[in-house]
Chain A
Amino acid sequence: MASSDPQDSGAFAIKDCALVALATGRKARLLQEFRRELEGIDIACIYHHFWGGLLQPRFDEREYNNDFAAWVRHGIHDAVLAERLSALVPASYPDLEALRHEIIDLVDERMDEVEHLFWTRATLQFEFVRSQIVVFDTERQLQHPAELAAVTRELSISSIFYHFIDARRRTLDGRDDFSDWLTAFGDEFTPLQERLAGIDPYFSNLGELRDELAQLFSLHIQEAAQ
């Protein structure tokens, strides 16, 4: 790949991806079952329920930013744990294993607080799902950040997913690919990197996210020109 790889200071290779979900057969009806399954499930499930779902059929106006929080609220009907789970930001953990342990800790903490959650039966079953992601090169490359504004509007939403969301799992410091690439161009782009870091990708759909990124890149070019 080109320069969505931080090691490579050349062109930015635009990649795209497609994601397909798989059933794991793991299900939970009780919070303690959920906790037990969390310990043993494929780490790809954690990825899917936090991130992968963004590329799956879903309603845009999401109440919670991950599937675990949504199930705890609407299946177990515990708003407190749902709120705590929804506050988790995957990129702030060194890896998905650390995120898994944090989720388990939050569940344990809540079960210690409220005894009846041990035996409360969920009104909806939680199905653990994982996904496979296929990444391919679009054979388009950017040579300079000034090109970002125009090109971003033409990217598929899955390309946005790959470079802006999936990148957080791949890059060393959990950033998006655009920010990573901009590092190679020096301090000039530090304000743009800061603005990119300020975008919360969870509460808009990927099309809206694409528009937001394109606007941000355009604004930066205008400001630089002035």
Chain B
Amino acid sequence: MSILEDYGRVAGPDVIAQICQLAAPLAGARIVHVNSTRTGGGVAEILTKLIPLTRELGLDARWETITGNSAFFECTKGMHNTLQGNRVPLDENLLRVYEETNARNAEVLRPVLEDADFVFIHDPQPAPLLGYCPNRKGKWIWRCHIDASHPYRPVWKYLHRFVAPYDASIFSLAAFAQELPHPQYLIPPSIDPLGDKNMELEPGKILQIHDKYGIDPHRPLLVQVSRFDRFKDPVGVIEAYRLAKCFLPDIQLVLAGGGATDDPEGEVVLKEVQNAAQDDPDVHVLLLPADANVEINALQRAATIVLQKSVREGFGLTVTEAMWKGKPVIGGDVGGIRLQVMNHHTGFLVNTPEGAALRIRYLLHQKEKLLTMGAKAQSFVRDNFLITRHLREYLTLMVALLHGARDRIELG
């Protein structure tokens, strides 16, 4: 069975038929996606499945990554943080490393990039590559996965010079879009329902996770899965758990974070979280390897409630993953979480640890409500946030770019 047929069983055959028809005018197009890591983080996860799916449609898609040293990733992490609002100037030396690294990578990638019909550059790390490909033939699209709604202006100004010459950019939400002299498409990311992180699991697999980490399967479990990053507010989650535990002494908490090769700050934040946990036997802080997708899947399925108490968030794919598993989500009232968590329908939006604690208590006292909200959450993801929808929008964007800025494009 083909990959497309596999997805048809989850998303519906009509969805696949539509994607095939949309891909037809693009048959044979050479498409290159570039990011900075093959493992860890939402971008790598999406590309892992998006590339083979695109290839099966008859498009010549490939995925390239740029390489860099620790100074490069220190710079791009800083850039990531400042674009999300941290007001810290970037060191001139690090910026030089950033540009030199891109120049060096361009030497290797130039033939592929200049020859491509469409080049998708993901996030700021490889953004300067366009400037090193003067003989490019195709359309270049900068895909920003970050909540850049309130960037630290000097850093945005610096990045703007690399991004402005692109043919188009893509943001996850309208609120994240910045002033740029080209069309700015709005495409939320997606999850892969058949990947290790989201596929159905045998009940035994979930029980194994309980055993492995000493979690009591008979007591309510709160789970937050995300990198150990201050924007994800893991310490705030522990605070919310403590406030709720005064009323619900049975509750347990798992904070599970995967590492990503382009995130040098993770270790520092992990230590802060371990300190905040203070050896509470019901708080499990788990640093999981980047490929622990099945474990993350099992943890999310084992959860009674999933939290994503971010204070800044690009989109929040962990929210989508949890909802796909039928869990209500208590999420920070920021970024793409707002697009997914509908108060009283698929979960609750909160602003403080106190707010999160209140909603934990509410849901654990309203078990019927908890189940209904979980079911609604799953259905909402099926209709809107699976990779098939993402692929369709990329195809639509490519067709649209070939036909100019018209509002209505009639093919055939």
Contacts and interface: CB of A to CB of B under 8 A. Distances in A.
Given A125-B175, A133-B407, A205-B383, A20 B397 contact: yes
28 contacts: A18-B396, A19-B396, A20-B185, A20-B186, A21-B174, A21-B186, A23-B174, A25-B179, A57-B383, A58-B384, A59-B345, A61-B345, A125-B175, A130-B407, A132-B406, A132-B407, A133-B408, A134-B22, A134-B399, A135-B408, A135-B409, A135-B411, A136-B22, A136-B24, A137-B411, A138-B17, A155-B14, A156-B18
Given A19-B396, A20-B400, A23-B174, A133 B184 contact: no
A157 B22 CA distance: 15
A59 B380 contact: yes
Contacts of A135: 408-411
Interface of A: 16, 18-23, 25, 42, 44, 47, 57-61, 125, 127, 129-138, 154-159, 205, 207
B404 to A, nearest CB: 10
A23 B177 contact: yes
A156 B14 contact: yes
Name which of B15, B342, B385, B400 has the most chain A CB atoms within 10 A of its CB. B400
B395 interface: yes
Contacts of A159: 18
A132 B345 contact: no
Contacts of A156: 14-15, 17-18
Interface residues of B, number: 44
A157 B171 CA distance: 25
B346 interface: yes
A25 B177 contact: yes
Contact of B174 (A129, A132, A137, A157): A129
Contact of A20 (B14, B15, B171, B393): B393
B339 interface: yes
Contact of B18 (A21, A59, A158, A207): A158
Contacts of B409: 132-135
Nearest to A155: B14
B412 interface: yes
Name which of A22, A42, A47 has the most chain B CB atoms within 10 A of its CB. A22
Given A134-B400, A155-B14, A127 B175 contact: yes
Given A59-B342, A60-B380, A133-B409, 4 more contacts: A23-B174, A23-B185, A58-B384, A132-B396
B277 interface: no
B160 interface: no
B21 A138 contact: yes
A166 to B, nearest CB: 9
